[in-house]
């Protein structure tokens, strides 16, 4: 539509992986479809096992269940549309659809950052103050911490998305990404975005860097406590309770920080797509695998649930 000398954008085109050959896009579709199904299956299993198994009712598994819900939401926002761009070349997305996708991407991303920090605090209390752990991390406190983590996604998603889509889009409408992320969309704006970019940097520091520093501080104290433990068995048990979370945090934050804290000129659009794939597609798949393979309690619970479901004869 024309408005004055501007063309008002009513839809966007996701460039996605359109520069690749059709054969390679078909292979990527198959790969991402398998990852998507594994992600949904793995996280649903984590939710079911931590809900029905009586041995997994501690705060750590309560937060793990919330993390799995977040990962499922994160995947549902990004992957189905990406699969469509690969297999049927459905690269267009409406103005409202792009805004909706971006809103929930911000929501789930900010909530996950805060939840990972909450999980680090849980491990800090469990290892550094074990005698007071049942009091500090009671049922009500856990519910409040989880609710605060989820709620943290609303302000950043509302402010960022509303601000971005209040700008005029009056030129090209090709988003050089496989989803509506902030940097490639804001690049299409035909207005001064310096104030928004300052706000976006502040939000990034608050919702990515600040939780990461809290996690880092928690693990400095945790490792210090572990190294002071007199027995090797005590050290092993203490470290095993937080190793899965530490690995998940490392995977998520390493790619997120590389994506949003590097200068624009130092990263090509294609490398940004690869980094984004890591924390939007690959990490949600790895989280349930990591917690299943590295956590003996989860493995034992999976066996118990399978045994009750299938029966001893079928096993």
Q: What mean pLDDT value characterizes the chain?
A: 87
For residue 235, the model assigns a pLDDT of 84
Rounded-to-integer distance, Cα 270 and Cα 190, Å: 23
Indicate the helix (H) or strand (E) that contains 239. helix 232-260
For residue 217, the model assigns a pLDDT of 94
Task: Assign 143 a pLDDT band (cuts: 50, 70, 90).
Answer: very high
16: left (phi over 0), alpha (psi -120 to 50) or beta: left
Q: Which of 80-89, 168-177, 289-298 has the lowest mean pLDDT?
A: 289-298
| C-beta of residue 183 within 8 angstroms of C-beta of residue 263 | no
For the CA atoms of 171, 173, 176, 179, the dihedral, rounded to the nearest 10 degrees, stands at: 140
pTM, two decimal places: 0.89
Domain ranges of the chain: 14-300
> Hey, which residues does 6 pair with through a beta bridge?
3
CATH superfamily of domain region 14-300 = Rhodopsin 7-helix transmembrane proteins (1.20.1070.10)
pLDDT tens-place string over residues 72-117: 999 999 999 999 999 887 789 999 999 999 999 999 999 999 999 9
Phi/psi for 14 (5° steps) reads: -85, 115
User: Two tokens at 55?
Assistant: 């041995």
């Amino acid at each position: 539509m024309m408005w004055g000398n501007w063309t008002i954008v009513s839809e966007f085109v996701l460039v996605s992986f359109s520069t690749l050959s059709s054969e390679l896009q078909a292979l990527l579709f198959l790969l991402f479809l398998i990852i998507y199904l594994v992600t949904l299956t793995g996280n649903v299993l984590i939710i079911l096992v931590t809900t029905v198994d009586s041995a997994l009712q501690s705060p750590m598994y309560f937060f793990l269940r919330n993390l799995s819900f977040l990962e499922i939401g994160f995947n549902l926002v990004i992957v189905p549309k990406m699969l469509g761009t690969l297999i049927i070349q459905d690269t267009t997305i409406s103005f409202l659809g792009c805004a909706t996708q971006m809103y929930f991407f911000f929501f789930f991303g900010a909530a996950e950052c805060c939840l990972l920090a909450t999980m680090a605090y849980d491990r800090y209390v469990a290892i550094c103050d074990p005698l007071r752990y049942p009091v500090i991390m009671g049922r009500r406190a856990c519910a409040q911490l989880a609710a605060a983590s989820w709620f943290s996604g609303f302000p950043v998603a509302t402010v960022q998305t509303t601000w971005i889509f209040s700008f005029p889009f009056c030129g090209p409408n090709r988003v050089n990404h496989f989803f509506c992320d902030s940097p490639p969309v804001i690049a299409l704006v035909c207005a001064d975005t310096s104030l928004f970019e300052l706000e976006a940097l502040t939000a990034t520091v608050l919702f990515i860097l600040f939780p990461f520093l809290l996690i880092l501080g928690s693990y400095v104290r945790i490792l210090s406590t572990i190294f002071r433990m007199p027995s090797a068995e005590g050290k092993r048990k203490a470290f095993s309770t937080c190793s899965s979370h530490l690995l998940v945090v490392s995977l998520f934050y390493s790619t997120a920080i590389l994506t949003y804290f590097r200068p624009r000129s130092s990263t090509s659009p294609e490398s940004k797509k690869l980094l984004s794939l890591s924390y939007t597609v690959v990490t949600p798949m790895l989280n349930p695998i990591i917690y299943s393979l590295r956590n003996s309690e989860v493995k034992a619970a999976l066996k118990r649930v399978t045994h009750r479901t299938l029966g001893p004869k079928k096993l």
